[in-house]
Amino acid sequence: MIKKYITRLSYRRLFLSVLITVICLLCFSQLFYRVSIVSDNRMAPTLKKKDVVLVKKNMRLQRFDIVLCQINSQLVFLRIIGLPEEFISYSDDVLYVNGSPLEEPFLINKSVYKHDNNQLYTDSFTLSTFGELNSIPRDEYLLLGDNRPFSNDSRYYGLIHRDEIKGKLITIIHTK
């Protein structure tokens, strides 16, 4: 009888310990991570609509990171192309950073689109498109979608402030 009581007590303690641990981990993870669902195809083929992804909040941002940002109350994924204090331009489908050409290896549909449509994948532009800018202001970023011909991004919304970036894509959890 005593042995059964001790066993039940041990299981209750174990269950309570596990429950408290899980609750603490969930609360802790919500401070640093977020699970999100891709809402559109502006990042196709890298991310597709309805993909489930893990986003880490408060990360150091680098060129070509995919970030979750809030634009006009909508959460969207875009890629960082231009960093603060850089001069960015596109000419004849080539990205220039501070005057030097830079490859974008993630744009795998670029040559197919150009061949099929006889158009540029990324229309030519400079920072003057966003006003009289010599470089991207501090705490602002130029964000573009990977599906350039069909993406609403900084070319339409302007530069994105750091406060509007909610996190950085860590991994795709589930793809549709």
The pLDDT assigned to 130 comes to 78
Predicted pLDDT of residue 23: 65
pLDDT at 4: 55
Residues with Cβ within 8 Å of 28's Cβ and at least 6 positions away in sequence, in order, are none
Are 49 and 41 in contact by the 8 Å Cβ rule? The answer is yes
Cα–Cα distance for residue pair 79/83, rounded to 1 Å: 11
Question: Cβ distance 85 to 138 under 8 Å?
Answer: yes
3-state helix, strand, coil in the chain (%, to 5): 30, 30, 40
Q: Are 143 and 160 in contact (CB under 8 A)?
A: yes
The tens place of each residue's pLDDT in the chain, 176 residues long, gives 555 545 665 667 767 676 676 665 565 556 788 889 999 999 999 999 999 999 999 889 999 999 999 998 899 999 999 999 999 999 999 999 999 999 999 998 777 777 677 888 899 999 888 778 889 999 999 999 999 999 999 999 999 999 999 999 999 998 87
For residue 168, give every residue at least 6 positions away whose Cβ sits within 8 Å of its Cβ, in sequence order, or none: 55, 56, 59, 61, 65, 66, 67, 68
